[in-house]
A and B are shown apart, each in its own frame.
Chain A
Amino acid sequence: MTEGDRRAPGRDGRVSDGDAEVSGGGGQVSAWERACIAAEAFALAPLGCGIIVRGRPGPVRDAWLKRLRAVLPRDAPFRRVPAAIADDRLIGGLDIPATLSAGRPVAERGLIAEADGGVLVIAMAERLPAGVAARIAAVLDAETVTVERDGLTLTEPARIGFVALDEGCDEDEAPPAILVERSAYFVDLDRVGIRDVQEEADGLDCDEARARFAALAVEPSALETLVNVAAAFGIASLRAPLFALRAARAIAALDGADTIEDSHISLAAALALAHRATRMPADADDSDDAAEEPPEQQPEDEREKDPSDGRNEEQKKLEDVVLDAIAASMPANLLARLEAGAKARAKAAAHGKAGDHQISMRRGRPVGTRPGLPREGRIALVATLRAAAPWQPLRRREHGTTGTARIHVTPDDLRIVLHHEKRGATTIFVVDASGSSALHRLAEVKGAIELLLADCYVRRDSVALIAFRGKDAEIVLPPTRSTARARRRLAGLPGGGGTPLAHGLDAAAVLAGQIRRTGQTPFVVLMTDGHANIARDGHAGRPKALEDAIDAGKRLAAAGVASLAIDTSAPSRHRDSATTLRIAQAMGADYFKLPVADSARLNAAVRKSAQRLQG
């Protein structure tokens, strides 16, 4: 186990020797070599899967792409897809000029059909819209591309793979989940320095390796190991172990081996599974894992289904080695992401159609066209003419006009512009108006809210106000753009009574859900002294009240609502401070303690939190 111990530092992302060295099963392999192994393994069988390449454009990435091209089958297509590609170029459609000159519908192939037998290279994959990703994913699954557009029906073979160039610079920016799900390999080029790059490939005979790949037998134990390891890292999808298995075969074939050896499995798992990990294995030995706190219910089940029973020692040992290999090769920022855990996932859930963007007819960035009448939106002239063009000969005949320059446009041709409207945010203030909080400190809280309100006004955000005291929480002010109204309501806010903190947070969660359904992004600002003493069932009692409040905070976080907690407890009351902090952590909220020395600092902090979620 000395091997594992030596690599333990890799677990927290710190990798020895200037980040260039990462362990990958047998021996030390430089990050560049690993990237090249991934390229070669992918190139052996690129169809039906993908490879994600994280790294800025530059000489390193160019060198890697060149290397990839060299190992891909010689005549395999290699087509670049820009993130902003339109459907008619991606999937195919009607070739208008050819159709007009031929007098019959002529189809134009899309990029996907052109890439049959080869790979699509997706530039700026982190900006690829989910819809485009879904179209590519459908093709990967079906191995054909179906055109049902512009009066054409066409199904063409499209056995493709993809290379997703991920230029994202922080954890929040990643390629669409649909593509990540279908990528077998992950390459991190940010770890590769330009000096590490070796341009020339070392005389690899790909054809021979490909033949070996096809013939390689898979031991059931290899497959079981990969399934177990994937499960241990919390990887739900069953595509992951399948891809890892494919990777293991490819690596073995590249290695010139006739069977898959343990080192191949380790390296394959590192290349194909590490980036998908959602948690560290439950039985991880190191103490530094404690920080991660895997999501509650998981460890329990994990132990139950612990795969160790009924299997021989040897396989268990192999699993340990593979686990270590993965842990050592986790992307540098993955652990940070794991800590964020549920928060990151909840945030991903918040994306999508009902999130902060909405298709609109009137405002925002134009994103396409659809059939429609001018009263529904602005006319898209080019698209309308395009739609009308094929019918011109027919219409001329019908109308009896000959050879004139007139264009016949009918209402069916009309296209209107669709806009991607960026919706605003609604800040929900959840204010503790209880006796403990209110009497002497509510004034200060009100001052802080005033500051935030001014900021909301500048951003044109809506605001809502929920107050909790006594035995319940109430929406004092439903979402409104009028910050003046909010200010008035706040001034008249009565104080006193118990602290039903859980009620307040529950009410915020319900309101946040409603706000999200209207296409706006909710943001919760909680102000409390943490002195929760009324439980959900309305009974007094601190322990249960706190437990409920933490539970309510967790639900808010799970619903993907970003939040900010402002601690208003008196400076002397450390115990209350600690509970507020616990609740803030449950909410995944940013935490501040009042009185903040100067209001400008508080304001800047709030603005930062708010901006982060609005992009």
Chain B
Amino acid sequence: MRQPYPFSAIVGQEDMKTAFLIAAVDPSVGGILAFGDRGTGKSTAVRALAALLPKIKAVEGCPYNCEPSSPAHLCHACQDEGRKHPKSALRPAPVVDLPLGATEDRVVGALNLERALAHGEKSFQAGLLAQANRGFLYIDEVNLLEDHLVDLLLDVAASGVNVVEREGLSVRHPAQFVLIGSGNPEEGELRPQLLDRFGLAVEVRTPQEVPTRIEVVKRRDSYERDPEAFLEHWASAEKKLRNRIVSARTGLSSVATPDSAVETATRLCLALGSDGLRGELTLIRASRALAALEGKAEVGEAQMRRMAPLALGHRLRRNPLDEQGSAARVQRAVEEVFAA
């Protein structure tokens, strides 16, 4: 497998890139949905993100990527070890692909077939959800995923815990991951329940300006012709971006969220009539993460303006007659709320 295309070399698509970076800084914003035109580099961006993310510290050999420093969140295996200071190692942050043909047993985990056949032992073989713990789970063409798998994912994504009760096994393990879905609305719409599970939704449009399009094609072509040289060229930009993520993560807790920002978020959601509190929470979290990325000390109007369409656009009640789409509605509400 060749090295993925560098994240910093992606031309345009600012919303999508920002959304990914925000999820990298604060996974609690929930999943990212990138929906839109074909050939706009959605998959490329996800693979690029995998290469960009800083490595994580995890208990050595743990199938769930347990974090050694928080004993409360250790998986059953690591707890059983009974050691105060489990040995830890750096490993790449998981960005796990959920391929469309995956079967349920591989997604949630199941009886380990090999051990069962060879030794007659009952043991649990962790699935993709386990691998994705503390990382990202990526589903390309998410609207083509089978419904029973979607239901299962929703359940786990909401609780952060994967409960397996099958083949005589009873296992619980942490499964906290950021769900990244991409797809094209022409293949079918997403169910509203699934839509709501994504924290941020980005509408990916193909760039319209010819110079941008030329730049995209140029970079892609030079990457395909000589990947090593291309990566070399972008290495320092990648490193800079990675450092920005790391410092934003440390700075996140010190970013102040003034009461006025929370009030603005609430007023926005009221104006848009979006149900539930998920919208407000996501908007605040995403704006905070953006402020951290930008090195700001507190959440300001600029961040909220930027994040409102991404955090709220997909939570609006659909109006099939509104040609302008939800982004424009959010924009209008933002103008009204900030003008008041």
Task: List A residues at the B interface (Cβ < 8 Å).
Answer: 87, 90-91, 94, 99, 103-105, 130-131, 134-135, 137-138, 141-144, 146-153, 157, 177-178, 181, 218, 220, 223-224, 226-228, 231, 236-242, 245, 301, 305, 307, 348-349, 351-355, 359, 370-372, 390-391, 393-394, 397-398, 410, 412, 506, 509-510, 513, 555, 558-559
Given contacts A510-B320, A559-B320, contact A242 B221 (CB under 8 A): yes
Given contacts A134-B141, A134-B144, A223-B221, contact A148 B101 (CB under 8 A): yes
Distance of A38 Cα from B224 Cα, bound (Å): 21
A149 close to B220 (CB less than 8 A): no
Distance of A181 Cα from B186 Cα, bound (Å): 13
Distance of A352 Cα from B82 Cα, bound (Å): 51
* Interface flag for B273 (CB, 8 Å): no
The residue in chain A whose Cβ has the minimal distance to the Cβ of B167 is A412
A149 close to B103 (CB less than 8 A): yes
* Interface flag for B61 (CB, 8 Å): no
* Interface flag for B128 (CB, 8 Å): yes
The residue in chain A whose Cβ has the minimal distance to the Cβ of B122 is A394
B99 close to A138 (CB less than 8 A): yes
The residue in chain A whose Cβ has the minimal distance to the Cβ of B218 is A223
Residues of B within 8 A of A103 (CB): 117-118
Given contacts A148-B99, A238-B213, contact A305 B208 (CB under 8 A): yes
Distance of A510 Cα from B41 Cα, bound (Å): 33
Distance of A510 Cα from B320 Cα, bound (Å): 7
Distance of A349 Cα from B320 Cα, bound (Å): 14
* Interface flag for B18 (CB, 8 Å): no
A227 close to B100 (CB less than 8 A): no
Contact of B110 among A151, A157, A372 (CB under 8 A): A151
Residues of A within 8 A of B128 (CB): 148
State the main secondary structure of chain A at its contact with B: helix
A104 close to B220 (CB less than 8 A): no
A282 to chain B, nearest CB (A): 13
Residues of A within 8 A of B122 (CB): 394
Contact of B188 among A151, A223, A240, A353 (CB under 8 A): A353
Residues of B within 8 A of A147 (CB): 99, 101
Distance of A249 Cα from B316 Cα, bound (Å): 48
B149 to chain A, nearest CB (A): 9
Distance of A181 Cα from B166 Cα, bound (Å): 40
- Additional A-B contact list (11), CB under 8 Å, known A148-B128, A149-B102, A220-B218: A134-B100, A138-B140, A148-B103, A177-B184, A223-B217, A223-B218, A227-B210, A241-B213, A305-B210, A397-B120, A559-B320
Residues of B within 8 A of A237 (CB): 37-40, 206
A272 to chain B, nearest CB (A): 13
Distance of A473 Cα from B293 Cα, bound (Å): 51
* Interface flag for B154 (CB, 8 Å): no
Distance of A235 Cα from B111 Cα, bound (Å): 49
Instruction: Please provide the 4 A-B residue pairs with the shortest distance between their CB atoms, ordered closest to farther.
Output: A352-B188, A237-B39, A353-B188, A148-B102
Contact of B111 among A131, A151, A178 (CB under 8 A): A151
Distance of A231 Cα from B207 Cα, bound (Å): 10
Q: A90, A135, A412: which has the most chain B beta carbons within 10 Å?
A: A412
* Interface flag for B236 (CB, 8 Å): no
B210 close to A307 (CB less than 8 A): yes
B188 close to A355 (CB less than 8 A): yes
* Interface flag for B228 (CB, 8 Å): no
Residues of A within 8 A of B167 (CB): 391, 410, 412
B117 close to A148 (CB less than 8 A): no
B104 close to A371 (CB less than 8 A): yes
A510 close to B321 (CB less than 8 A): yes
The residue in chain A whose Cβ has the minimal distance to the Cβ of B112 is A151
The residue in chain B whose Cβ has the minimal distance to the Cβ of A99 is B117
A238 close to B320 (CB less than 8 A): no
B49 to chain A, nearest CB (A): 15
B106 close to A178 (CB less than 8 A): no
Give a binary string over B163-175; 1 marks a CB under 8 Å from any A CB, 0 the rest.
Answer: 0001110000000
A104 close to B186 (CB less than 8 A): no
Distance of A90 Cα from B185 Cα, bound (Å): 25
Given contacts A134-B141, A349-B185, contact A151 B39 (CB under 8 A): no
Residues of B within 8 A of A239 (CB): 38-39
Given contacts A150-B103, A390-B117, contact A227 B217 (CB under 8 A): yes
Distance of A353 Cα from B191 Cα, bound (Å): 10
A130 close to B144 (CB less than 8 A): yes
* Interface flag for B178 (CB, 8 Å): no
Residues of A within 8 A of B162 (CB): none
Residues of B within 8 A of A397 (CB): 120
* A-B pairs with beta carbons under 8 Å apart, 24 shown: A99-B113, A134-B187, A142-B1, A142-B97, A143-B2, A144-B1, A149-B101, A149-B102, A151-B105, A152-B113, A177-B184, A177-B186, A237-B37, A238-B207, A242-B221, A245-B221, A305-B209, A353-B188, A353-B189, A370-B148, A391-B116, A393-B117, A412-B167, A558-B323
B9 to chain A, nearest CB (A): 14
B221 close to A87 (CB less than 8 A): no
B146 close to A135 (CB less than 8 A): no
Residues of B within 8 A of A393 (CB): 117, 120
A143 close to B1 (CB less than 8 A): yes
Residues of A within 8 A of B99 (CB): 91, 135, 138, 146-148
* Interface flag for B331 (CB, 8 Å): no
Distance of A393 Cα from B186 Cα, bound (Å): 47
Residues of A within 8 A of B72 (CB): none
A412 close to B114 (CB less than 8 A): no
B147 close to A359 (CB less than 8 A): yes
Given contacts A103-B117, A146-B97, A394-B120, contact A354 B320 (CB under 8 A): no
A370 close to B146 (CB less than 8 A): yes
The residue in chain A whose Cβ has the minimal distance to the Cβ of B1 is A144
B100 close to A181 (CB less than 8 A): no
Residues of A within 8 A of B141 (CB): 134, 137-138, 178
* Interface flag for B143 (CB, 8 Å): yes
The residue in chain B whose Cβ has the minimal distance to the Cβ of A413 is B167
Contact of A238 among B101, B188, B216, B323 (CB under 8 A): B216
A181 close to B187 (CB less than 8 A): no
Residues of B within 8 A of A506 (CB): 321
Chain B residues 167-212 with CB under 8 Å of chain A are: 167-168, 184-189, 206-210
B101 close to A353 (CB less than 8 A): no
Given contacts A238-B216, A394-B117, A555-B321, contact A152 B210 (CB under 8 A): no
B38 close to A104 (CB less than 8 A): no
Distance of A391 Cα from B120 Cα, bound (Å): 9
* Interface flag for B257 (CB, 8 Å): no
Distance of A245 Cα from B218 Cα, bound (Å): 10
Residues of A within 8 A of B117 (CB): 99, 103-105, 390, 393-394
Distance of A103 Cα from B185 Cα, bound (Å): 45
Give a binary string over B2-21; 1 marks a CB under 8 Å from any A CB, 0 the rest.
Answer: 10000000000000000000
A227 close to B214 (CB less than 8 A): yes
B146 close to A224 (CB less than 8 A): no
* Interface flag for B43 (CB, 8 Å): yes
Distance of A390 Cα from B115 Cα, bound (Å): 12
Distance of A309 Cα from B71 Cα, bound (Å): 63
B144 close to A105 (CB less than 8 A): no
Distance of A153 Cα from B214 Cα, bound (Å): 39
Distance of A598 Cα from B331 Cα, bound (Å): 54
Residues of B within 8 A of A137 (CB): 141
A151 close to B1 (CB less than 8 A): no
Distance of A348 Cα from B184 Cα, bound (Å): 12
A135 close to B206 (CB less than 8 A): no
B210 close to A236 (CB less than 8 A): no
B116 close to A218 (CB less than 8 A): no
B206 close to A141 (CB less than 8 A): no
Residues of A within 8 A of B153 (CB): none
Given contacts A148-B98, A218-B221, A238-B216, contact A353 B143 (CB under 8 A): yes
A555 close to B323 (CB less than 8 A): yes
Contact of A390 among B37, B113, B184 (CB under 8 A): B113
The residue in chain B whose Cβ has the minimal distance to the Cβ of A348 is B186
* Interface flag for B327 (CB, 8 Å): no
The residue in chain A whose Cβ has the minimal distance to the Cβ of B47 is A142
A481 to chain B, nearest CB (A): 24
A464 to chain B, nearest CB (A): 16
